[in-house]
Amino acid sequence: MTSTRTSPSPTQPVLAVAGVSKCFGAHRALDSLTFDVKPGEVHALVGHNGSGKSTFVKVLSGFHTPEPGYRAAVAGVPMTLGSARAAHDTGLRFVHQELGLVDNLSVADNVLLGSAFPTRRLGRIDWTRARRQAADLLDRLGYSLDVCQPVAGLSPIHRTAVGIARAMHGDTPPHVLVLDEPTAALPTSGVAGLFDVVRRLQADGIGVIYISHHLDEVFEIADRVTVLRDGQHVATVPIDELDTDRLIELIVGKTVDLGRTAAKVGVDQAPVLEVRDLYAAGLAGVDFGVSAGEVVGIAGIAGSGRETVAGAVFGSLPRTGTVSVDGAEIRPERPERAIEAGLGYIGADRAVTGLIPFLSIRENLTLPRLDAVLRGFFLSPQREARDVRQWLQRVDIRPADPEKRADQLSGGNQQKVLLARWLRSLPRVLLIDEPTQGVDVGAVERIYQVIRQAAAREVSFVVSSSNSDELVALCNRVLVLSRGCVVGELSGTALTREAIDRACLTGALTDPMENLR
C-alpha cells in the first residue's frame, strides 16, 4: 500500500500462473496447476486436506521450487517461482494462519519488521517516522491503534490487522495478498472486521487469494472460487454460479448424502471415559463418552476445536467441565492425575510433547514405568532388555536397536516408540492427535494394526485427525466439530471419507449450537 503503486489494466491479471507442478519423491502434490487473480478480486482457493492448497502457497512464497515448465507473471511482469525475495519484490504478500507476531515488541516494530526502518543521519532509526508509517498503514486498513503498545495485549482481530499491515509494507508495491485460513483464530465477531479490511484492499486494486474451509466465508467474500483435489485443478467458477451443495460436490468429488446414524460400540456399557461440558481454547461445551475398546474419532476443519480436544481432556491445556475415567473425576490441568486415572496422550508434535530426543529407545520406553523392570529396589538390566525387546517386536520398530537415540529415528518409528511407551503403561484410554502425521506409508499400516490390537484388548482410543481416510480406517464412530461444538456424529455404513468431509464443511455453515440430527 503505497502511493507509487502502478495498477495493471482491468483485463490483465495481477497474478497468472500456468503449468505449476510440485513433486515430493513419487508423490505429485501439484499437477500442472493454472490459476489467476484479477485486480481487486477476491479469489477463493478451497479443497480438502491434502488437496494441494498449502503446497501452492509455499510455491508462490518461494518456500518450494516448482518443477520446470511453468509460467508465472505478476501484473504482467514474468517472475521466477521458488524465491522468497522475488515473490516479495514482484508484489506477492502473505498472511499465514500463524501470524508470526513478536508479542513483546510494539505494534510499530511488528509492522515494520522485515523491512527497512526509516533512518536519520548516521543510520540511526527515526522512531517518530517509523511509528507514523505504522499508524498510516493501519489507518488505511481502517484501524486506529496505539502503535507503541505491545501486540501481546491486542484482540485477535487487531493482531490480524497488524499481520496484514506488515505484509503490505515494503519498498515495492503489493499486487496480491494471500490470506491462509485468516479466521481460524478469530471469534465470529472478528470475521466482519477482517472482511472490511479485505474490501478496502479490493478498492485499492489489490487481488486477494482467500484460503478457507469455512464455506460461508467463501460465499460472502469471494468473487470466484477455485477447487483443488489431489493436487489437480477441478474447477474455477464465479461464486454467483454456485450453491453450497454444488461447491461441496466439487470439493469432495461426488454427491454425498450425509449419514446421521448414532450406533455405538458397547452401547449398554458404562463409558470408560466421560467428558461433559468441556470448555477450552476453541471448545464451547463438548460432550462425549467412550466405551471399553472403542475408537472414537474427532474430525473438523482448522479452527474447529479438533486440535484442542485431546490436550484439554488430558490436562495439558486449561479447561473447565468434567472429565471422568471409570466414574472418577480428574481435576483440570493435572496430567499426572490423568495418568494415574488411566489416561495417556500422544500430541501432534512428537518432538515437543512426546519423546525425550537425546535418550535412547530403551530409556524412552522404560522411564515412565520402571516398576515392571525392577528387582526389589533396583533396576534389572536383564528384565529391562527382555521387556524392551518384546515391545520393539510388537510395534515393529526398525532397526530394532534399543540403544539408538530417539532423535535419530524416522517419524514413523518415533510414533511407534510413543505408542509402545503408552501401551506399556496399561492405559484405559489413549488420546492421540494426528497419529500418522509425517509418517511413511509402511509405518502407517503398522500403527493402525497396533491401535486395532490394543482396542481388541479393551483399550479405548480418542483419535483426533485431519485425515478423513484415517478416521474411516480406525474409528467405530466419528464426532464432527465446528466452531468448538459437536455438530454431527457418523458411524456404521455412514462413516465414509466423503461423509466426514461433507459434515466438516456443512458444519461450518450451521448454527454450531444446533447438532445435526
Confidence label for 349 from pLDDT (cuts 50, 70 and 90): confident
DSSP string, 203-254: HTT-EEEEE-S-HHHHHHH-SEEEEEETTEEEEEEEGGG--HHHHHHHHHSS
Confidence label for 105 from pLDDT (cuts 50, 70 and 90): very high
What is the per-residue pLDDT for 30?
Answer: 95
Contact present, 15 and 176 (Cβ < 8 Å): yes
Confidence label for 1 from pLDDT (cuts 50, 70 and 90): very low
pLDDT at 165 exceeding the cut of 60: yes
Helix/strand/coil for 145: coil
Task: Tell me which amino acid residue 475 is.
Answer: C
Structural domain 15-252, CATH architecture: 3-Layer(aba) Sandwich (3.40)
What is the per-residue pLDDT for 379?
Answer: 84
Where is pLDDT greater, at 2 or 205?
Answer: 205
Round the average pLDDT of the chain to a whole number and report it. Answer: 87
What is the per-residue pLDDT for 260?
Answer: 34
Where is pLDDT greater, at 269 or 130?
Answer: 130
Where is pLDDT greater, at 515 or 326?
Answer: 326
C-alpha cell read off for 347: 500430541
Burial 80-103 (b: 16+ CB within 10 A, else e): ebbeeeebbebbbbbbbbebebee
Confidence label for 512 from pLDDT (cuts 50, 70 and 90): very low
Mind listing the pLDDT tens digit for each residue in 229-260?
989 999 999 999 999 889 988 987 765 443 33
Burial 325-357 (b: 16+ CB within 10 A, else e): beeeebebeeeebbbebbbbbbbbebeeebbee
What is the per-residue pLDDT for 251?
Answer: 86
> For the residues 97-121, what does the mean pLDDT come to?
87
Percent of the chain scored above 90 by pLDDT? 60
What is the per-residue pLDDT for 255?
Answer: 53
pLDDT at 133 exceeding the cut of 50: yes
Mind listing the pLDDT tens digit for each residue in 151-162?
998 888 899 999
Contact present, 201 and 208 (Cβ < 8 Å): yes
Confidence label for 354 from pLDDT (cuts 50, 70 and 90): confident
What is the per-residue pLDDT for 440?
Answer: 63
What is the per-residue pLDDT for 268?
Answer: 57
Q: How far is CA 200 from CA 164, 193, 212, 229, 497, in A?
A: 12, 11, 19, 31, 39
pLDDT at 136 exceeding the cut of 70: yes
| CATH 3.40.50.300 in the chain, residue ranges | 15-252, 273-356+427-507
Virtual torsion, Cα 317, 320, 325, 326, nearest 10 deg: 180
Structural domain 273-356+427-507, CATH architecture: 3-Layer(aba) Sandwich (3.40)
Question: Which residues fall within 8 angstroms of residue 294, CB to CB, at 6 or more apart?
Answer: 264, 265, 266, 455, 460, 461, 476, 477
pLDDT at 511 exceeding the cut of 50: no
Confidence label for 204 from pLDDT (cuts 50, 70 and 90): very high
C-alpha cell read off for 278: 468441556
> For the residues 137-141, what does the mean pLDDT come to?
91
pLDDT at 420 exceeding the cut of 70: yes
Confidence label for 441 from pLDDT (cuts 50, 70 and 90): low
Mind listing the pLDDT tens digit for each residue in 16-69?
999 999 998 888 999 999 999 999 999 999 987 678 898 999 999 999 999 999
What is the per-residue pLDDT for 392?
Answer: 93
| Residue 428 burial by Cβ neighbours in a 10 Å radius (0-12, 13-18, 19+) | middle
